[in-house]
Structure 1
Amino acid sequence: MTFVPPKPPKPDVPQRLLIGVSGSIASLALPTYLNVFRAMGVDRMTLVLTPAAEKFLPAATLALISDTVVTEADHGPGHVALARWADGILVLPATAHLLGCAAHGLGPNLLSTTLLAAEEPVVFVPAMNPVMWRGAAVRRNVRQLRADGHVVVEPVEGQAYEVATRTLRPGLTLPPPETLLAATRRVTEEAA
């Protein structure tokens, strides 16, 4: 009789996580999120940075705590291959501009074309001023993304740094990393 080892259980988190990063002050929290994702079992993380995101966090810095970083200057394997590689796609943070591009099928940069090439739903994590978040255009774009099958995780009320005033003010913050991985896991399980 031959021993056949049991198949390992399906991981609770995506093993290959593609993280889109758009240009928001909230992107400064990204290193903490990446470390928590790794601690929670994500095996490989590829980051796709918009040009605006690179102004907040240089690709060389993010390369120290992720597996791969691709940018407008270095597309890596290209948008279609990036989208196919991922077990889950998370946009953290998602600016109003990025939400609008995704909702309307626009591809002005590598991240937005990668999202267009994704066959599975994407998890978006908005980060913006509360006035922008409540604005009619942003709300319309969020409704469209959800109607298209994507997940938009609601921001959390809390103290947020406001660049315009350079102060901490009541505002919207990113949800905890565990919430984001749970949303990504649900999307990948439903798509399977």
Structure 2
Amino acid sequence: MLHGKHILLVISGGIAAYKAQTLIRLIQKAGGTVQAILTKSAAEFVSPLTVAALSGKPALTELFDLTQETEIGHIELSRSADLIVAAPATANLLAKLAHGLADDLASTCLLATDTPIMTAPAMNVRMWEAAATRRNMATLRENGVIVVGPDEGEMACGEYGPGRMAEPEAILAAIETHFEGAPKPLAGRYVIVTSGPTREPIDPVRYISNASSGKQGTAIAEALAALGAKVSFITGPAEYANPQGCDIVRVTAAREMDAAVEKALPADVAVFCAAVADWHVANPAQTKIKKEAFEDPPPLNFAPNPDILKRISTLESGRPDLVIGFAAETGDLEARAARKFAAKGCDWLLANDVSTHHGVFGGNGTDIVFFDSNGHERWGAMTKTAVAQKLAQKVAAHFR
């Protein structure tokens, strides 16, 4: 409960601003008080008069409001709160906070404070996945800013993916957890996550690889870190390879990934999500192979790559308490995944069909069949973020 707690609610411009009105009611119902600040853009989506009526306090909008500056002052306004909550927090507001910019009342209060800050991001999926936004979010997390969401779903613009503001109930739960100081379920646990493809060189220019984007592994690493785990993220050259709140180790080839995993041990959990090549070219050329030197295509001699999942699963000493593998198949999914699960010796296996028509590689969605010692179950069609969150919760439950 929030009895005696005062929340400074920063509402920035976006269609999700209407949810801030529900959040005000929920905070008050839990016993807290709310002072709202609206950005200029927010006032285009929700009425300051409505917000003021709900909160019981004037909704502040202007930095240079002389009456308020005389009575309160923007510095005292931010410091008098027990928690500052920015919901919705647009990409613009988050960028300002990450870079220390203060050009309106909202951003000035966020900068001129030592009060804890919580944000609930809300933006278009492309904006959320943009490299600049990911860098900004990494900076904010490093600075101790609490991040709630975003959720995945259909956007007002018609697109689908992560970027929807977390529901007011979820934000309230995060606020209550903050004041309770509840420990995160994976605090003190160390997890290794591998992700992305590997590249096996043919010569200095060409290589053999696959279409893994790293999106699923990145989502898993972030979900585990959000539950308090210390995560070592070992990634091949992937499109998505910068999970927030994780230690990142970049590799290229399968043997490099195997060495990086070995170096990262011991660990409580190992999640092998990477799409590792089964073979490498035994004798890659030191210079570019020229087609003029061959009448027919040059022969390639292959050698097996280390089976990282099996090697770690069957360690006699130093084996992680929980080893999780992935199986990417293109047909007869359950039978092939069952054989892999039996052969590898891991504790859990997540299998999916990556046939081209399913759009799993590089896409936002997947359809998981989960294997453990009790058999297997279909999780059904889910977003990759939802899969990551479900898996992270199962990992947390394993250690309870």
TM-score range, shorter chain: 0.7 to 0.9
Alpha-carbon RMSD across the aligned residues, in angstroms, is 1.9
Change in 2 beyond 3 A, CA 1:151/1:180: same
Q: Which residues in structure 2 correspond to 1:43-122 (within 5 Å)?
A: 44-68=33-57, 69-72=59-62, 74=65, 76=68, 77-122=72-117
**Aligned residue number for residue 26 of structure 1:** 16
Assess if the C-alpha contact under 8 Å between 2:154 and 2:160 holds in 1.
yes
**Aligned residue number for residue 135 of structure 1:** 130
- Which structure has more RCO (C-alpha within 8 Å, separation ≥ 6)? 1
Assess if the C-alpha contact under 8 Å between 2:118 and 2:146 holds in 1.
yes
Q: Matches of 2:73 and 2:180 in 1, distance apart?
A: 25
Amino acid at match of 1:126: P
Change in 2 beyond 3 A, CA 1:118/1:182: farther
**Aligned residue number for residue 363 of structure 2:** none
* Larger helix share, 1 or 2: 1
Q: Matches of 1:78 and 1:189 in 2, distance apart?
A: 29
Deviates more, 1:113-122 or 1:98-107: 113-122
Gaps of at least 5 residues in structure 2 are 182-400
Amino acid at match of 1:78: G
Change in 2 beyond 3 A, CA 1:14/1:143: farther
Q: How far has the Cα of 1:170 moved from its partner? A: 2.6
Q: How far has the Cα of 1:169 moved from its partner? A: 4.4
Q: How far has the Cα of 1:14 moved from its partner? A: 6.4
**Partner of residue 153 from structure 1, selected from 131, 148, 155:** 148
Assess if the C-alpha contact under 8 Å between 1:121 and 1:187 holds in 2.
no
Assess if the C-alpha contact under 8 Å between 1:51 and 1:71 holds in 2.
yes
TM-score (norm 1): 0.82
Q: Percent identity?
A: 39
**Partner of residue 41 from structure 1, selected from 24, 31, 34:** 31
Deviates more, 1:73-82 or 1:120-129: 73-82
Q: Matches of 1:122 and 1:88 in 2, distance apart?
A: 6
Change in 2 beyond 3 A, CA 1:180/1:189: same
Q: Matches of 2:10 and 2:3 in 1, distance apart?
A: 17
Q: Matches of 1:78 and 1:71 in 2, distance apart?
A: 13
Change in 2 beyond 3 A, CA 1:24/1:131: same
**Aligned residue number for residue 7 of structure 2:** 17
SS of the counterpart of 2:134?
helix
Amino acid at match of 1:121: P
| Post-superposition CA distance 1:144-173 (Å, at most 9, x none) | 0010111122211123312xxxxx543432
Assess if the C-alpha contact under 8 Å between 2:10 and 2:85 holds in 1.
yes
Change in 2 beyond 3 A, CA 1:14/1:20: farther
Assess if the C-alpha contact under 8 Å between 2:8 and 2:34 holds in 1.
yes
**Partner of residue 180 from structure 1, selected from 171, 188, 195:** 171
Q: Matches of 1:160 and 1:136 in 2, distance apart?
A: 20
Q: Please tell me whether Structure 1 or Structure 2 has the larger radius of gyration of its CA atoms.
A: 2
Change in 2 beyond 3 A, CA 1:117/1:186: farther
